[in-house]
């Protein structure tokens, strides 16, 4: 049961929406012009095989292109199942493509007694099977905004990073009012970013809002309209403001999180990801570069502690 549902959004754009919540349960999109363009593959081969079947029903030929919105495995580890496709991504995605090996996550998934900071990840990885995943990295690298012409259908690749990650690309089909955002957008669940910049993420979402897309495909969560983009931008602004104040007052990250007014976001899944988002703002307040190494175990520990508090 892959949980994938295909939705037609416009004349040439489909979404494959993942109905199962949780880390790694990601969405994809298909543009049925110019030989077919897939926006993101999925985390493992079983999921991506189901995705390819959903797409084959409406586009029987194997798609000619893939765009990877960023390098996280839940958006590109199924690339190998579209053999011969041109794989397009931003340089920041290409540079980090091999940063996490499938075998590394598989080892965490199979741990019998994971260390405390990896326990949540260990549980979250349980539904996946990384057997047979071989990284298929980008074959075409872009350095900024790029326009594709798919037999007369204009597709804009918008470089929006470093926001969620260094290589964030949004895919916009302006004549059909559809934007596919990868993990620039989490809908119905809290966003999280392990690198990138809070300010740039907010700016990227403002740029997407100005395009006024009718349909927006988030990286995670149900397809929405532009209001989904606005709500997440406001969340990031709220977290940024609260965390800046708390950092100036010398408060520990968890104390700051306790003060987060969850009103508009109370129904979101995985709200405890706020701890990672606050940690990032704290690093920014300290003047750390967006890609500077940091203590990920401490971030995971605080996220787990907040989960215990809010569950």
Query: For binding to Zn ion (CB under 5 A), which residues are involved?
Result: 26, 72, 74, 183, 219
Angle at 103 between CA 98 and CA 109, to 5 degrees: 125
C-beta closer to Zn ion: residue 25 or 81: 25
| Shortest Cβ 95–Zn ion spacing (Å) | 18
Q: Are 218 and 186 in contact (CB under 8 A)?
A: yes
64-90 burial, b for 16+ CB within 10 Å, e for fewer? ebbbbbbbbbbbbbbbbbbeebebbbb
Q: What's the min distance (Å) between Cβ of 236 and Zn ion?
A: 16
Pick the closer one to Zn ion by CB: 66 or 150: 66
Closest approach of Zn ion to the CB of residue 186, in Å = 8
> Which residue's structure tokens are 């979402």?
205
Respond yes or no on whether the N-terminal peptide bond of residue 86 is cis (omega within 30° of 0).
no
Shortest Cβ 26–Zn ion spacing (Å): 5
Q: Quick one: 183 or 302, whose CB is closer to Zn ion?
A: 183
Shortest reach from residue 126's CB to Zn ion, in Å: 17
Query: In terms of CB distance, is 26 or 32 closer to Zn ion?
Result: 26
Show Cβ contacts of residue 226 under 8 Å, excluding neighbours closer than 6 positions: 208, 209, 212, 213, 214, 216
CA pseudo-torsion sign 301, 306, 307, 311: positive
Cα–chain center distance at 253 = 24
**Is 183 or 270 the residue whose CB approaches Zn ion more closely?**
183
């Amino acid at each position: 049961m892959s949980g994938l549902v295909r939705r037609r959004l416009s004349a040439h754009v489909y979404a494959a929406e993942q109905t199962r919540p949780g880390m790694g349960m990601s969405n994809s999109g298909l543009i049925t012009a110019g030989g077919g363009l897939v926006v993101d593959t999925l985390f493992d081969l079983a999921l991506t095989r189901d995705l390819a079947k959903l797409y084959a029903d409406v586009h029987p030929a194997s798609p000619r292109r893939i765009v990877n919105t960023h390098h996280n495995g839940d958006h590109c580890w199924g690339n190998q199942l579209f053999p011969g496709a041109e794989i397009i991504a931003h340089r920041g995605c290409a540079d980090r493509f091999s940063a996490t090996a499938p075998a590394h996550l598989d080892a965490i998934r199979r741990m019998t007694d994971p260390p405390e900071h990896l326990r949540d990840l260990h549980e979250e990885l349980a539904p996946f099977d990384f057997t047979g995943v071989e990284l298929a990295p980008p074959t075409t690298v872009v350095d900024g905004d790029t326009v594709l012409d798919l037999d007369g259908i204009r597709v804009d690749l918008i470089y929006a990073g470093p926001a969620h990650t260094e290589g964030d690309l949004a895919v916009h089909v302006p004549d059909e009012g559809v934007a596919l955002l990868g993990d620039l957008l989490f809908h119905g669940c809290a966003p999280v970013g392990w690198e990138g910049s809070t300010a740039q993420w907010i700016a990227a979402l403002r740029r997407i809002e100005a395009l006024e897309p009718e349909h927006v495909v988030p990286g995670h969560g149900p397809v929405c309209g532009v209001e989904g983009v606005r709500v997440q931008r406001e969340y990031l602004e709220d977290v940024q403001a609260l965390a800046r104040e708390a950092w100036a007052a010398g408060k520990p990250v968890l104390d700051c999180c306790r003060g987060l007014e969850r009103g508009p976001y109370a129904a979101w899944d995985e709200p405890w990801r706020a701890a990672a988002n606050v940690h990032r703002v704290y690093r920014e307040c300290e003047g750390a570069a967006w890609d500077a190494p940091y203590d990920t175990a401490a971030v995971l520990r605080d996220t787990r502690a907040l989960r215990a508090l809010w569950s």
